[in-house]
């Protein structure tokens, strides 16, 4: 009896037109993977650029060598980390 009621409840429950998930009061559509990926790539690019800019600011004559790659990777990772922390 109880099982039966639960089943019909689930069956009758409205589904979200966008994600087809059950429309509960707390329903939130899961974020699309493509959009998440684009967001991560965008923040990585911005972070890498900021890393390069910081190196250019602190080392305008390019006296420190081999820092470009590290700064780009570091900036990208930090930017992605911040993005994930804020969005998560």
Q: Contact region for Zn ion (CB under 5 A) — 15-23, 36-44, 54-62, 65-73? A: 15-23
Give the pair of three-digit tokens for residue 33: 């993977």
**DSSP of the chain, one letter per residue?**
-HHHHHHHHHHHS-B-TTT--B--TT--PPPPHHHHHHHHHHHHHHHHHHHHHHHHHH-TT--S-S-HHHHHHHHHHHHHHHHHHHH-
- Residue 21 C-beta: closest distance to Zn ion, Å: 5
Choice from 8, 15, 24, 29 touching Zn ion (CB under 5 A) = 29
Our finding on whether 13 is near Zn ion (CB under 5 A) is no
Among 4, 18, 63, 88, binds Zn ion (CB under 5 A): 18
Span from 23-31, 42-50, 59-67, 71-79 in contact with Zn ion (CB under 5 A):
23-31
**Residue 50 makes contact with Zn ion by CB under 5 A:** no
Q: Are 74 and 66 in contact (CB under 8 A)?
A: no
Binding of residue 19 to Zn ion (CB under 5 A): yes
Positions that interact with Zn ion (CB under 5 A): 16, 18-19, 21, 29
């Amino acid at each position: 009896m109880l099982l039966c009621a639960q089943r019909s409840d689930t069956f009758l429950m409205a589904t979200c037109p966008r994600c087809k998930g059950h429309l509960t009061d707390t329903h939130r559509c899961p974020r699309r993977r493509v959009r998440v990926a684009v967001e991560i790539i965008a923040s990585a690019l911005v972070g890498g650029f900021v890393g390069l800019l910081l190196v250019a600011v602190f080392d305008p004559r390019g006296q420190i060598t081999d820092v470009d790659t590290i700064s780009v990777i570091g900036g990208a990772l930090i930017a992605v980390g911040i993005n994930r922390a804020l969005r998560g």
